[in-house]
Amino acid sequence: MAGFDDLASERSKAQFDVEEMKVIWAGSRHTLEVSDRISRLVANDPVFRKDTRTMLSRKDLFKNTLRKAAHAWKRIIELRLSEEEAAELRFYVDEPAFMDLHWGMFIPTIKGQGTEEQQQKWLPLAYKMKIIGCYAQTELGHGSNVQGLETTATFDPQTDEFIIHSPTLTSSKWWPGGLGKVSTHAVVYGRLIIDSKDYGVNGFIVQLRSLDDHLPLPGITIGDIGMKFGSGAYNTMDNGVLRFDHVRIPRDQMLMRVSQVTREGKLVQSNVPWQLVYGTMVYVRQKIVSDASCALSRAVCIATRYSAVRRQFGLQSNGIETQVIDYKTQQSRLFPLLASAYAFRFVGEWLKWLYMDVNQRLQASDFSTLPEAHACTAGLKSLTTSATADGIEECRKLCGGHGYLCSSGLPELFAVYIPACTYEGDNIVLLLQVARFLIKTVSQLGSGKEPVGTTVYMGRVEQLMQCHCAVQKAEDWLKPSVILEAFEARSMRMSVASAQNLAKFDNQEEGFLELSADLVQAAVAHCQLIVVSKFIEKLQQDIPGKGVKGQLEALCNIYALFILHKHLGDFLSTGCITPKQASLANAQLRSLYSQVRPNAIALVDAFNYTDHYLSSVLGRYDGNVYPKLYEEAWKDPLNDSVVPDGYQEYIQPILKQQLRNARL
């Protein structure tokens, strides 16, 4: 039968050890074991079903999310899951909810910005979920411009309290997840005012709702901001609105790791940089990069399996039609996404390491790598989420008409994913941060301050401004050194050109605004170089398993040459490669697609996703697509009755031409 046979035969063709590839994808044998066990636990629990999600009303959807969250918490306690296992369980439940913000932002903010004392007071309550918290930064009037926030926190020396207030409509907190209906507490970002002086934005722990009856505390107005894009999708989350009318909190509820306000109302700065007030964003951006590989690989898994099952045209000698995965156009759209999923996985792994390293240094009062960490997390968050959002939509198109059905899993995945291009920093705003960092790095070249970390290559500015690509035949593009040099030269030349253009302006800020579109492209080039170089570094590690390294090498080359092909204008206009070398890269890309083709199904099997997590009829492991699609259609509530509700009021009068007289 179509589907079963197709996927089984594809699996038998794999030229590498899939089980070892699963370990590489998971990060370690231990992580694979945990994620495998927990994903099956979730898949086998009927409370975690998600097949009716797109058909529920918002209220039912939300209540069902609460039920799942409570059940998840119960299972975590009953099974005594470790922190790692609990995080996996929340991941596989796969439903955006207040828990994400509680564990993902509220707790990390207290850890990162609270003093030891504050951590001791608040963290045990949060860990036991005796309180539920969210992250209330964005306002109706300002999101990107954090220094433009209007909420005030005015110190009252008489009572030793802060008065939290929303002075304008635009100062209403707007968007925080978990705020609308659930959170009892929030970290609220507001302007610190002492003695009428504004000391800028700081974080404050504020109780919002009573722990007895869940009603908002006096002076607090709170609600949900309304339906968002798509059915089901992100509507499981209670993104909220919040206003304060002179709400008083004790002084010790200002998060005081960065600066402290004394009993006398004096502001004391610690030795840590003020930017640590933005620290949670760095942490979450790093996490979002890892998550991008999950969302993209999920869409790619669906599109790849379906492309092997789906047949159109081209009768072969055995009388069956061609699998659409065999069309070169399908491969040229699908395989770069497969390669991107792996690339994002490895750059995410590296970014996690970078973040841990920065944190360790911060503990030891070494703040030197913070700007690099900010630039990398901001840039890679932007690059990977934009590519993933576009990639999911491409996967939908790769699945033809059936990809547009909710039962394909792709519409909901897209709707849930796309806000990642906006939250935790609008992707363009974040690239502009990277551009500032690059311009600063270029301007310091020759000053004796050596570029560090991901900008080390800029230290070779003279070589990179002049080098010529050595490629003479297509296979030369398989050499990591050749690829790296082309990407480094392109990035270097784009940053230098931007810096030179900027230098022509008397006013640098005006120049930055004028040139911002070019600056964003320079930032993209730098971030793509990071992704490529981290993939290449990964391949230098010991990679066990038959054929595994070879497949990863092919994917790495596909990622790099696909990016080169997509941004050919950059590579040609900066003179990094010639048109002839560009066409050789294209020829090499085609040959790489043929190399990956027999392994495509095994490469997506290596993600080790359960059918529950994929929630896609098209991406089923067994390939049994058509009977299940057919079965799924009948489950739609519209098919509950043969004759639809409304027939008598609206269809019958048309058919019986009873409306004609009324119209005449």
Active site residues: 424
Residue closest to ligand FAD when measured from CB atoms: 143
- The span of 20-28, 131-139, 397-405, 498-506 binding ligand FAD (CB under 6 A) equals 131-139
Q: How far is CA 141 from CA 88, 153, 326, in A?
A: 36, 18, 51
| 70 contacts 63 by C-beta, under 8 angstroms | no
Q: Report the DSSP beta bridge partners of residue 201.
A: 191
Which partner from the list ligand FAD, ligand LTMAUQNL, none does 374 bind, CB cut-off 5 to 8 Å by kind?
ligand LTMAUQNL
Q: Whole-number minimum distance, CB 144 to ligand FAD, in Å?
A: 3
Residue closest to ligand LTMAUQNL when measured from CB atoms: 104
Q: Which of 176, 391 has the CB closer to ligand FAD?
A: 176
Q: Is 35 among the residues that bind ligand FAD (CB under 6 A)? A: no
Give me 383's structure tokens: 């690059």
Q: Whole-number minimum distance, CB 618 to ligand LTMAUQNL, in Å?
A: 27
- Of residues 141-200, those binding ligand FAD (CB under 6 A): 143-144, 175-177
Beta strands 259-261 and 267-269 are antiparallel
Q: Is 428 among the residues that bind ligand FAD (CB under 6 A)? A: yes
Which partner from the list ligand FAD, ligand LTMAUQNL, none does 433 bind, CB cut-off 5 to 8 Å by kind?
ligand LTMAUQNL
The CA angle 568-573-576, to the nearest 5 degrees, is 75
Q: Is 336 among the residues that bind ligand FAD (CB under 6 A)? A: no
Q: Which of 425, 619 has the CB closer to ligand FAD?
A: 425
Classify each residue of 263-298 as buried b or exposed e, where b means 16 or more C-beta atoms within 10 Å of its C-beta: eeeeeeeeebeeebbbbbbbbbbbbbbbbbbbbbbb
Q: Whole-number minimum distance, CB 387 to ligand FAD, in Å?
A: 17
Cβ-Cβ contacts under 8 Å for 482 (sequence gap 6 or more) = 469, 470, 471, 476
Q: Is 398 among the residues that bind ligand FAD (CB under 6 A)? A: no
Q: Which of 421, 555 has the CB closer to ligand LTMAUQNL?
A: 421
Q: Is 329 exposed, middle or buried (0-12, 13-18, 19+ CB in 10 A)?
A: exposed
Q: Which of 138, 608 has the CB closer to ligand FAD?
A: 138
Tokens 């990107």 locate to 144
Beta strands 247-250 and 197-207 are unpaired
Which partner from the list ligand FAD, ligand LTMAUQNL, none does 624 bind, CB cut-off 5 to 8 Å by kind?
none
Q: Whole-number minimum distance, CB 424 to ligand FAD, in Å?
A: 6
Which partner from the list ligand LTMAUQNL, ligand FAD, none does 614 bind, CB cut-off 5 to 8 Å by kind?
none
Q: Whole-number minimum distance, CB 145 to ligand LTMAUQNL, in Å?
A: 6
Distance CA 233, CA 410 (A): 11
Cβ-Cβ contacts under 8 Å for 279 (sequence gap 6 or more) = 109, 112, 113
Chain centroid to CA 498? 28
Look at phi and psi of residue 411 and say left if phi exceeds 0, alpha if psi is from -120 to 50, else beta. Answer: alpha
Q: Whole-number minimum distance, CB 182 to ligand FAD, in Å?
A: 12
What is the pattern of x (binds ligand FAD, CB under 6 A) and - over residues 230-269? ----x----x------------------------------
DSSP conformation class of 135? E
Which partner from the list ligand LTMAUQNL, ligand FAD, none does 122 bind, CB cut-off 5 to 8 Å by kind?
none
Q: Whole-number minimum distance, CB 426 to ligand FAD, in Å?
A: 4
Q: Whole-number minimum distance, CB 108 to ligand LTMAUQNL, in Å?
A: 7
Distance CA 188, CA 372 (A): 27
Q: HSE (CB half, 13 Å, CA atoms) of 392?
A: 26
Q: Quick count: other Cβ atoms within 10 Å of Cβ 30?
A: 11
Q: Is 125 among the residues that bind ligand FAD (CB under 6 A)? A: no
At 105, which helix (H) or strand (E)?
Answer: none
- The span of 312-320, 329-337, 424-432, 551-559 binding ligand FAD (CB under 6 A) equals 424-432
Measured distance between the N- and C-terminal CA atoms of the chain, rounded to whole angstroms: 57
Footprint of ligand LTMAUQNL (CB under 6 A): 100-101, 104-105, 135, 137-138, 143-147, 177, 275, 278, 281-282, 284, 287, 370-371, 374, 423-425, 429, 433, 436
DSSP conformation class of 184? S
Q: Quick count: other Cβ atoms within 10 Å of Cβ 651?
A: 12
Q: SS3 of 197, please?
A: strand
Contacting positions for ligand FAD (CB under 6 A): 101, 135-138, 143-144, 175-177, 234, 239, 419, 422-423, 425-426, 428-429, 432
